[in-house]
Amino acid sequence: GGRRNRNINKIRQITTILRIKINIDFARGSRQPIHCDDIAEWATSLLLLGPVNQKEAIQDADQQARKHGTIISTRPIRVDVAGGEAVSFAEMVNRTQATACAGGIRLYCRRGVAKLLFSLAHWLPWFREVPGDFVSRLEQDFLFSSEEAIALQSQVFRRFYP
């Protein structure tokens, strides 16, 4: 999210310059976009728990281990962190384009046309990082649970906004 989100920022930039809004209704795969500020706040609050836990661990190690066993643990753990709202890719694009400009031309793009356009655009230098199966990925769900992350440090992740 924010300035670090290259995909959303590219969509916003293209929409602002060209004033063309593309409707990709076939892209129904769900996402849980997360803002980089939310990740930073969660990670910072988790890091700040470490020194507090170390001080309290000296005073009462057994009670603290029961309370924050994963934080006192010396082995690294991996958790997924997801945004506070599940939205389809098409809805993400629609919201982004709506914030980029009020008017403009609306184009409807079907799956076959999108697949052809991305296969042709893949040869352009600024589209090389787009994977070959991009269009089919737009129809797949990429949802993750933040339960383990929230168990380590409580955090409310905000809804998607471009």
- Give the tens place of pLDDT for each residue, 111-133: 999 999 888 887 888 777 788 88
Report the candidate in 156, 143, 110 with the shortest Cα–Cα distance to residue 30.
143
Read off the pLDDT of residues 36-57 as tens digits, 9 standing for 90 and up. 889 999 999 888 876 555 445 4
For residues 63-85, average pLDDT: 69
Mean pLDDT over each residue of the chain, to the nearest integer? 83
Q: Would you state the pLDDT for residue 62?
A: 53
- HEC readout, 27-52: CCCEECCCCHHHHHHHHHHHHHHHHH
d(CA 94, CA 162): 10
Instruction: Please choose, from the candidates 161, 1, 5, 147, the residue with its C-alpha nearest in 3D space to the C-alpha of residue 79.
Output: 147
Helix (H) or strand (E) holding 105: strand 105-108
pLDDT greater than 90 at residue 6? no
